[in-house]
Homo-oligomer: A and B are copies of this chain.
Amino acid sequence: MKNIPIASVERVAKYIRCLKHLQSKGEEIVSSKKLAEHTQVTPEQVRKDLSYFGKFGKTGTGYNIKKVVKRLSNILKGRKNWNVCIIGAGALGTALSRYQGFRDAGYNIVALFDKDPEKIGKKIGSAEVYDIKKFSDITKKKDIKLAIIAVPAESIEEVEEYIAKSQIKGVLNFVPVTLNFNTKRKIAIIEVDLAQKLYILSYLTKK
Contacts and interface: CB of A to CB of B under 8 A. Distances in A.
Contacts of A195: 13, 17, 101-102, 104-105, 107
Interface string A51-91: 00000000000000000000001011110001010000001
Nearest to A203: B76
Which applies to chain A's interface (DSSP): helix, strand, loop or mixed? helix
Tally of this chain's copies: 2
A88 to B, nearest CB: 11
Contacts of A193: 13-14, 17, 101
Nearest to A180: B40
Contact of A82 (B21, B75, B92, B202): B202
Interface stretch (A42-50, A110-118, A171-179): A171-179
Given A17-B176, A107-B195, A170 B98 contact: no
Interface in A186-203: 188, 190, 192-203
Interface of A: 6, 9-10, 13-14, 16-18, 21, 38-40, 73, 75-78, 82, 84, 91-92, 94-96, 98-99, 101-102, 104-105, 107, 145-146, 169-172, 176-178, 188, 190, 192-206
